[in-house]
Amino acid sequence: MKNYCFGIDVGGTTVKLGLFSTAGELLDKWEITTRTENFGENILSDICEAMEAKLAEKEISLDDIEGVGIGLPGPITNDGTVLQCVNLGWGTFNVEEKLSEMFRGIKVKAGNDANVAALGEAWQGGGKDYDDIVMITLGTGVGGGVIINGKILTGYNGGAGEIGHMHVDDNETDSCNCGRKGCLEQFTSATGVVRLAKRLMNNTDKETKMREFGENITAKDVFDLAKEGDAGANEVVETMGTYLGTAMSHIAVVVNPQAFIIGGGVSKAGQFLIDAIKDKYRETCFAACGDAAVHLATLGNDAGMYGAAAMICK
């Protein structure tokens, strides 16, 4: 194994780049803008330029680089083919081959960003003591990643770990972004928690301090109020926790992980959130699969870079 590798997390707005030691230390990180114009034709060349500049700055030879891992916001097959990255403007091509050609033949591994973040947490974050984890990212949407024996489970067409779109409610009337109704994401993402809060405020006359925030209430406000003992906010958190805990019990009987790692903006609510979901998970889950640890993610926005590096040097 050589001494260094790059771990790159490509988002729709910025590309996060990390220079890692292959032992797992993040040595330097920086960002560049994601130029999505003209079907994102500059994205890979911008990344190559940024890496070349970093090698020059640090006086590191390319011979000392083990490879480049890259996380992308869309489904990727096992052979490195991007099926469609709508946020980047990309169509279908083999991103591993393309980036390798552009960066002097270096080894490249590509993965879906949510899966790659899960691998990052499994390598150096909240899941580093475990081989088999499921990560659940509660952000604007809900993402997921399944890590088995320390490797990403991709699934047949890159859809493994798409647990934000698990169907959890037959009676939901609002549509999810995916077009279906009743997806986990509609109840447990930051947006979903706000939706539950507004629904409670609009459809009941319960007294709750959430009303002081009105239409601008955020998921953080809901959790802050719940921690202070506000009954309405606690009802929202309990509903959210019931959906998520039950979904975790579904996941557990399929892949039986050692640990669930909970990340994303909503996870800043901390142990209070973990407590809200853990009990429901244990309560609904088949006993043999119900004892997985439930931890917070620890790498924050760096998880994608860590996971990208892990695809190369873990």
- State the residues that interact with a copy of itself by CB under 8 A: 75, 132, 134, 146, 148, 153-163, 165-167, 178-180, 182-183, 246-247, 249-258, 284-289, 291-292
* Pick 91 or 159: Cβ nearer a copy of itself: 159
Query: Shortest gap between Cβ of 288 and a copy of itself (angstroms)?
Result: 4
* Pick 22 or 246: Cβ nearer a copy of itself: 246
Query: Shortest gap between Cβ of 134 and a copy of itself (angstroms)?
Result: 8
Query: Shortest gap between Cβ of 2 and a copy of itself (angstroms)?
Result: 28
* Pick 42 or 77: Cβ nearer a copy of itself: 77
Query: Shortest gap between Cβ of 264 and a copy of itself (angstroms)?
Result: 17
Query: Shortest gap between Cβ of 277 and a copy of itself (angstroms)?
Result: 14
Query: Shortest gap between Cβ of 285 and a copy of itself (angstroms)?
Result: 7
* Pick 231 or 253: Cβ nearer a copy of itself: 253
HEC readout, the chain: CCCEEEEEEECCCEEEEEEEECCCCEEEEEEEECCCHHHHCCHHHHHHHHHHHHHHHHCCCHHHEEEEEEEECCCECCCCEECCEHHHCECCEEHHHHHHHHCCCCCEEEEEHHHHHHHHHHHHCCCCCCCCEEEEEECCCEEEEEEECCEECCCCCCCCCCHHHCECCCCCCCCCCCCCCCECHHHHCHHHHHHHHHHHHHHCCCCCHHHHCHHHCCHHHHHHHHHCCCHHHHHHHHHHHHHHHHHHHHHHHHHCCCEEEEECHHHHHCHHHHHHHHHHHHHHCCHHHCCCEEEECCCHHHHHHHHHHHHHHC
Contact 240, 276 (CB under 8 A): yes
* Pick 72 or 309: Cβ nearer a copy of itself: 72
* Pick 67 or 75: Cβ nearer a copy of itself: 75
* Pick 41 or 291: Cβ nearer a copy of itself: 291
Burial of 166 (0-12, 13-18, 19+ CB in 10 A): middle
Query: Shortest gap between Cβ of 221 and a copy of itself (angstroms)?
Result: 28
* Pick 132 or 302: Cβ nearer a copy of itself: 132
Query: Shortest gap between Cβ of 61 and a copy of itself (angstroms)?
Result: 36
Closest CA to 110 of 66, 142, 154: 154
Q: Which two tokens stand for residue 129?
A: 């003591």
